[in-house]
Amino acid sequence: MASVQEDVPCDFPTFDEDRDGFSPGVFPPGFLWGAATSAFQIEGAWTEDGKGPSIKDSWFNQERRALDGTTAEVTCDSYHRYREDVRILSELGVSHYRFSISWSRVFPDGTRDSLNPEGVRYYNNLIDELRARGIVPFVTLYHWDLPQALMDKHRGWLNETLVELFNDYARFCFSEFGDRVKHWATFNEPWSEIVMGSKGILAETVGKEGKRGVYAAVRTVLKAHATAWHTYDKEFREKQRGKVGLALSCTWGEPKDPRNADDVTAAERFFDFNVGWFAHPLFVNGDYPDVMKEYVMKRSMADGLATSCLPEFSSEEKALLKGSADFLGVNYYTARLVSARAEGDDSKPADMLGEDDADVHVEMNPDWPVAGLPFISIVPWGLRKALNCVRDRYQVPLIFVTENGLHEHHDGEVQYDLKDARRSCYHAAHINELRKAITLDGVNVRGYTVWCLMDNFEWVFGHTQTMGLYHVDFKDPEKKRLPKESAGFYRDVIKHNGFPDGAAHTRLVQEWWEARAKRTTGSKEK
Ligand code: NOJ
């Protein structure tokens, strides 16, 4: 069994027993434990068997590469090795596997006219293989890989035509796979795709349209999600009895000074601009949070524009959006300190999480440990706060944690060390906070999903960010998947449905926690 040693470099210098303490215990019966991936990041075979190119293929495989010079042309080669993926999932003992369907593998030019039977066969095989091993498929329809043809012809999400095109793709997937798939996430992290795309970090999504383009593209995505949800509701739900939601990136915003009312409202605004932008229309009232409308208008006026950059919804559109999600998928990685911007402070936001329009100052806390990416602070208690917040502020009735995982830098030249105790600690800490959210705060979270099943192509960072429970040696033509220590740790958590008293892995975590608490107290006393 994996060990969580006391001396691993995974300390939390701001350790506070009341907030961070370990609370052993199990999860509610039927809780889902899973692992996730996405098509572009693992499949490879980007030109095979009739697949059409996506905007990510063009960006990373043709026009440029990731920062480490690699591409996603082969990556984990899951298109050919999906049986191996299912084998390791079964070894882990997960109850579900979250993967995504590549739209342009199924519809190479984005429309039904181009239907590619080979692509459909691939996903049917994967789903059947999972079910044969008793693993529930949890399918994302869109994980940032828009068919290139739709970008060329329609300018992607800037064009409302995509609402119907996405709906038709979704309808096809519901009808083809829905007899076996009961969990659907329409979109994965649209904030990341569109905001990061607009800043040139991922494939361009809004061209030269800037801020107005970002708001317009998100509006199309929201309508596409809602339209697909209604299609499921009307045409498939009765027979298939599944659920349709979406996954959002839920970076927590902690007020820099919690006693300062302006910092508290700034932090609320930060969350509304990142998460509420999507969750508020879908779960609350069919419209953006009021504060968002107010602040975008204010900024647009200050910029000398005649109208707000945030386009309004008509009453029909509001009716379409309101109530159109059965669950929210929470992807949680990090937190930020947020404060009110001082009067006349025209400095650019500290990082892209602090969008200008929210008028907040966003920074990292140097006391929080960082992951393998310098802008990812590790803040487990932020998960608990984010879960409470989406339940309370956006009235989300049902949540799955659809991603949570540790970025770790590895340059690929040195032998990879499979002893990744830091990852086990990371998951132990987050699962602990999740359990508190469920048992102490009563948040209805029904599943936890590790990102990632295996090392893969981490977008602009290529193969240098390893986040998997399994290591993949990308130089090995066989792309062998090797379990890291954290895979053993997670297997134990799943086997015991959490941290029951007396279980060996629980004792290890407990000891590690106590040592950590002692160390922190010791250093405070000095
Ligand atoms: C969120 C994205 O959904 C996923 O594609 C990415 O690899 C992880 N975050 C880790 O950065």
- Rounded to the nearest whole angstrom, what is the distance from the C-alpha of residue 302 to the centroid of ligand 1? 35
Q: Is residue 4 part of a domain?
A: no
Indicate if 48 belongs to the active site.
no
| Strand ranges of the sheet holding 335-340, from the earlier edge strand across to the other edge | 252-255, 335-340, 360-363
**Which DSSP string corresponds to 3-25?**
---TTSS---TT--HHHH----E
DSSP state of 263: H
* Strand-strand pairing, 32-36 and 25-26: unpaired
* Strand-strand pairing, 252-255 and 243-249: unpaired
d(CA 135, CA 180): 11
| pLDDT in the model for residue 526 | 36
**Residue 108 lies in domain:** 17-525
| pLDDT in the model for residue 524 | 47
Ligand 1 atom at minimal distance to the Cα of residue 405: 10
DSSP helix/strand/coil, 334: coil
161 φ, ψ to 5°?
-55, -25
Q: Is residue 219 part of a domain?
A: yes
* Triad 450, 376, 334: Cα angle to 5°: 60
Q: Is residue 166 part of a domain?
A: yes
440 φ, ψ to 5°?
-90, -35
- Rounded to the nearest whole angstrom, what is the distance from the C-alpha of residue 517 to the centroid of ligand 1? 31
CB 156 within 8 A of CB 59: no
The residue assigned the tokens 């919690």 is 258
- Rounded to the nearest whole angstrom, what is the distance from the C-alpha of residue 330 to the centroid of ligand 1? 12
CB 78 within 8 A of CB 99: no
Please name the residue whose Cα sits nearest to atom 2 of ligand 1: 189
| pLDDT one digit per residue (tens) for the chain, 526 residues | 445 554 555 555 678 889 999 989 999 999 999 999 999 999 999 999 999 999 999 999 998 889 999 999 999 999 999 999 999 999 999 999 999 999 999 999 999 999 999 999 999 999 999 999 999 999 999 999 999 999 999 999 999 999 999 999 999 999 999 999 999 999 999 999 999 898 888 888 888 888 899 999 999 999 999 999 999 999 999 999 999 999 999 999 999 999 999 999 999 999 999 999 999 999 999 999 999 999 999 989 988 999 999 999 999 999 999 999 999 999 999 999 999 987 766 665 545 555 679 999 899 998 898 999 999 999 999 999 999 999 999 999 999 999 999 999 998 778 899 999 999 999 999 999 999 999 999 999 999 999 999 999 999 999 999 999 999 999 999 999 999 999 999 999 999 999 999 999 999 999 888 888 887 665 444 3
Residues with CB under 6 A from ligand 1: 38, 41, 188-189, 331, 403, 451, 458
Ligand 1 atom at minimal distance to the Cα of residue 188: 3
DSSP state of 303: T
Which of 142, 186, 459, 466 has most ligand 1 atoms within 8 Å of CB, for mutation?
Answer: 459
Q: Is residue 3 part of a domain?
A: no
Ligand 1 atom at minimal distance to the Cα of residue 38: 5
- Rounded to the nearest whole angstrom, what is the distance from the C-alpha of residue 339 to the centroid of ligand 1? 26
Which of 76, 189, 196 has most ligand 1 atoms within 8 Å of CB, for mutation?
Answer: 189
Please name the residue whose Cα sits nearest to atom 5 of ligand 1: 38
Q: Is residue 37 part of a domain?
A: yes
Residue 444 CA to chain centroid, in angstroms?
A: 18
The active-site residue out of 84, 129, 189, 408 is 189
Please name the residue whose Cα sits nearest to atom 7 of ligand 1: 458
Using the Cα atoms of residue 461, residue 142, residue 116 and residue 147 in order, give the sign of their dihedral: negative
- Rounded to the nearest whole angstrom, what is the distance from the C-alpha of residue 332 to the centroid of ligand 1? 10
Which of 249, 403, 404, 457 has most ligand 1 atoms within 8 Å of CB, for mutation?
Answer: 403
Ligand 1 atom at minimal distance to the Cα of residue 467: 10
- Rounded to the nearest whole angstrom, what is the distance from the C-alpha of residue 210 to the centroid of ligand 1? 23
Indicate if 189 belongs to the active site.
yes
Closest to 221 measured CA to CA, from 187, 170, 251: 187
- Using CB atoms within 10 A of its CB, is residue 304 exposed (0-12), middle (13-18) or buried (19+)? exposed
- Rounded to the nearest whole angstrom, what is the distance from the C-alpha of residue 5 to the centroid of ligand 1? 27
Residues 6+ positions from 460 with CB-CB distance below 8 Å? 66, 67, 201, 202
The active-site residue out of 268, 403, 408, 485 is 403
Q: Is residue 7 part of a domain?
A: no
Please name the residue whose Cα sits nearest to atom 11 of ligand 1: 458
Report the DSSP beta bridge partners of residue 409. 465
Closest to 16 measured CA to CA, from 465, 526, 513: 513
Residues 6+ positions from 463 with CB-CB distance below 8 Å? 66, 68, 70, 75, 412, 455, 456, 457, 474
- Rounded to the nearest whole angstrom, what is the distance from the C-alpha of residue 480 to the centroid of ligand 1? 22
- Rounded to the nearest whole angstrom, what is the distance from the C-alpha of residue 411 to the centroid of ligand 1? 19
d(CA 50, CA 211): 36
Q: Is residue 416 part of a domain?
A: yes
d(CA 373, CA 514): 27
Please name the residue whose Cα sits nearest to atom 6 of ligand 1: 458
Q: Radius of gyration over alpha carbons of the chain, in Å?
A: 22
Total tally of structural domains belonging to the chain? 1
Ligand 1 atom at minimal distance to the Cα of residue 459: 7
Rounded-to-10 torsion of CA 156, 161, 163, 165: -90
Ligand 1 atom at minimal distance to the Cα of residue 189: 3
Q: What is the CATH number of the domain that holds 439?
A: 3.20.20.80
| pLDDT in the model for residue 66 | 93
Q: Is residue 12 part of a domain?
A: no
Ligand 1 atom at minimal distance to the Cα of residue 458: 7
| pLDDT in the model for residue 493 | 98
Closest to 100 measured CA to CA, from 189, 204, 233: 189
Using the Cα atoms of residue 233, residue 239, residue 241 and residue 244 in order, give the sign of their dihedral: negative
Rounded to the nearest 10 degrees, the angle between the axes of helix 261-271 and helix 380-394 is 80
- Phi-psi bin for 49: left (phi > 0), alpha (psi -120 to 50), beta? left
